Chains A and B, each alone.
Chain A
Amino acid sequence: MKGTVSALLLIDFIGYLIGNFVVAVSQSNAPTGCWEMYKHDVDDQVWDNGEWYWAGVRGYVRICDGSASIETTTVEHIYGVSWSKGTKIIEGPYKVHTSKVAYTEFEYQRITGETGWAYAVIYATPVPSRTVATGESS
């Protein structure tokens, strides 16, 4: 019993040391108050005849001491149209990302000849309520 207690105490103590070590190391890499947030945006549509388009962008935003930047290595641009149904991409796709903005955008043309734009965007900086209704997660 005594042995068990002292073993547990020892493990606790080692845990305490490791904990201190981890905190020290992590602090040297990233200051406290850093956190990450997943952001994504999608613009998609399906029509009655089965035609569809899809534009998306996603990635992580890192926020440290109030300054936010997109982790550009995590950014993915996704796009597609129902090629098999005759839908075409006639301009773009524009795929752009920096540490502040990332977007995917293209112009599609339906088999009826009708054209339109698909557009998905994420920003590093949280946007005010005016544009929150855009489908961008925040």
Chain B
Amino acid sequence: MKTSRVLILFFLLFLIFSNGINTHAILNLHEGTYATYALLEPEGGPGGVKDLYMFILYPEGLPPNVRNRLIGYLSPDSPWVKDGFPFIIGDCTEVFLEFEILKVLDNTASINVSITFVNTTLEGDYRRIIPNLTIWEVLDLNFSDMTYYENGTPIGKATLFIDPSDPPKPGEVLFSLEGLSMDVNVSVGNVTYSAYGNSTVLTYYRPFRPPHIGMTTRRFYFSEAGKNWSISGGGREEYTYDFLTGVMIAGTFSHSTELMALGVFDIDSMDRRIRGKSEDGVWPDGIKLYDTNIAFPDEGDSSYPDSPWRYYMYSGILALMASLLARWWKDGHG
């Protein structure tokens, strides 16, 4: 009886410690790891579909090269130029968000995050269509607190990744919206290990069987007006993560830490290509995984253990069997 308890305790301790030590091994983030998320154009193109995807850029926060290029596209009577509107509104037919791990040093990873808007129109100027508008920046992510730092200053908690063993806690501030005169903090509302219940979450890349980790934000609102403009909105974001790696598989992602770091205030969070339920599972709202080189542990039906997690599972079963055997032996194998 005691032996089994001790064994199980050791096994649990082993699990807990291995979690703590191998954080980024579990996250599966190493040099060269990349993932792309997408909001795709509906089949047959945008005909008959309303203005597809809107987005709002915060020029002050854009990387300087992108900002200069964008300003060149604006007409002289642009609200940003003329009226002091703090944002630039655009629309496009497809959105691709990508991250790539450039370097992992001790507890920090340099991550290139980029967003590409396809067939972009700025401020409704249809005479000029930008085939690909890409905004990218290298962000430094500290694994121990899952926070991005810029020259040593924290700029927000990661929303593309979480540490499954230590997810953000309710009430914690994820990031702040920039470009408004008042501070609007977006903080964690709820974290659940059973997002989407027993449903499989479908993405453009592959289906993800349950369980999933879900994080929602608290409700937030903003409202601001100037002489010739007005903007208000807000709501509640919802991000869904792979259970074992903690990498996001889908998210409403209207606002996020990574977007705000790039100078993107808001993107549309509905997928106009595909959504809703089917026999195979649920298509979540917003951007979804599109391509990646991450070997998600539960991939395929391969019979051999292809990840440390499988070994954990097997060793767990082994430990359980050993303890049962020990108990059975002690009790006089009767």
Contacts and interface: CB of A to CB of B under 8 A. Distances in A.
A109 to B, nearest CB: 11
Interface string A4-27: 000000000000000000000000
Contact of A67 (B48, B77, B123): B77
B120 interface: no
A48 interface: no
Nearest to B227: A72
Interface residues of A, number: 37
A105 B54 contact: yes
Given A67-B77, A125-B124, A98 B85 contact: yes
Interface residues of B, number: 39
A119 interface: yes
B203 interface: no
A100 B47 contact: no
Nearest to B237: A91
A86 interface: no
Given A93-B233, A99-B77, A127 B124 contact: yes
B230 A101 contact: no
24 contacts: A90-B236, A91-B234, A91-B235, A92-B233, A93-B232, A93-B233, A94-B234, A95-B231, A96-B232, A98-B83, A98-B85, A98-B89, A103-B54, A114-B276, A115-B285, A116-B270, A117-B269, A117-B270, A124-B124, A125-B127, A130-B46, A131-B46, A133-B48, A134-B51
Interface of B: 46-51, 54, 56, 75, 77-79, 82-83, 85, 89, 123-127, 228-236, 252, 254, 266, 268-270, 275-276, 285
